[in-house]
Amino acid sequence: MVLAMIQKFSARLLAVTGLLLAGPVRFALPVATTEASATSPAIVIGFVGGFIRHDNILHSEVQLAARLRKEYAGSAVVDTFENRNGERAYREILTILDANHDGILSNEEKLSARIIIYGHSWGASEGVTLARRLEKDGIPVLLTVQVDSVAKIGESDGFIPANVAQAVNFYQMDGLLHGAPVIRAADAKRTQILGNFRISYQTTPYNCTGYPWYNRILMKAHVQIECDPKVWNQVESLIRSHLPPATEIGSM
């Protein structure tokens, strides 16, 4: 009981102060809240930011998807989308969940969903929008991850819908373009905010090689968080904690 109160207080303190992190984020890995379904694989959806192509391997969102797709080939569907293609991602999820291919999702098919959504910048905003759309269909989401989330016109990335079990937010405030510093649960009884974690690049060398010069100059810190391995290692660890055991090489 005391430990739970301390953890809850710590999470709120991080959300209020935007604690500057010098090292990896530390938090207990969550336990998936939806039981695994024999007919529905886990679904991991990643959204890239800006005008980036969904398959541009230079970007961390795409690199992460490639690793997960290879290791979880037999137990998860992993895909990336441009942030303008939220509709396409939504339709793909419905198709995957429709286990009997009758074009109608039953309550059982909906509740068997094991969905994880992550993204950077506009992609993070689109991820919250996708989760909100799934809420209208009664489809649960295990986890949303926002990295320097920038709200798109007509979207709200600061409030996490109640169908999401857990959500986390990584952001920076060092440049002209920066992410939302705080995300909140629309229903705190149903959604656990794992934290709002501020990353500082004021003293960190800029090393995102391969990015266009205008990104490196105009959006330096916003791009830095996208290629920061410390941040994406945390994102990957959280996502993996919700997935079934990886498919062993040679087992298929």
CATH number at residue 116: 3.40.50
For residue 119, CA distances in Å to 2, 143, 153, 219 come to 34, 12, 17, 17
Q: What is the pTM of this model?
A: 0.83
pLDDT value, residue 15: 39
Domain-embedded: residue 141: yes
pLDDT value, residue 213: 60
Domain-embedded: residue 23: no
Domain-embedded: residue 164: yes
pLDDT value, residue 40: 76
Domain-embedded: residue 118: yes
The tens place of each residue's pLDDT in the chain, 252 residues long, gives 444 443 443 444 343 334 334 344 444 444 444 444 445 799 999 999 999 999 999 999 999 999 999 999 989 999 999 999 999 999 999 999 999 999 999 999 999 999 999 999 999 999 999 999 999 999 999 999 999 999 999 999 999 999 999 999 999 988 778 899 999 999 999 999 999 999 988 877 667 877 776 666 666 788 899 999 999 999 999 999 999 887 654 444
Q: By residue range, what is the domain housing residue 233?
A: 38-241
CB-based contact 21:197 (threshold 8 Å): yes
- H or E stretch covering 118: strand 115-120
Query: Structure tokens of 83?
Result: 């942030």
Domain-embedded: residue 28: no
pLDDT value, residue 28: 45
Strand partners, 81: 47
pLDDT value, residue 205: 63
Four-CA torsion 219, 233, 21, 200, nearest 10 degrees: -10
Domain-embedded: residue 113: yes
- H or E stretch covering 194: strand 192-199
pLDDT value, residue 247: 67
Q: What single-letter amino acid sits at 113?
A: A
Domain-embedded: residue 9: no
Domain-embedded: residue 138: yes
pLDDT value, residue 68: 97
Give dist(CA 27, CA 151) in Å, integer: 26
**Number of domains making up the chain:** 1
Q: Look at the alpha carbons of 53, 121, 86, 79 in this order and tell me if their dihedral is positive or negative.
A: positive
pLDDT value, residue 248: 53
Query: Structure tokens of 94?
Result: 């419905």
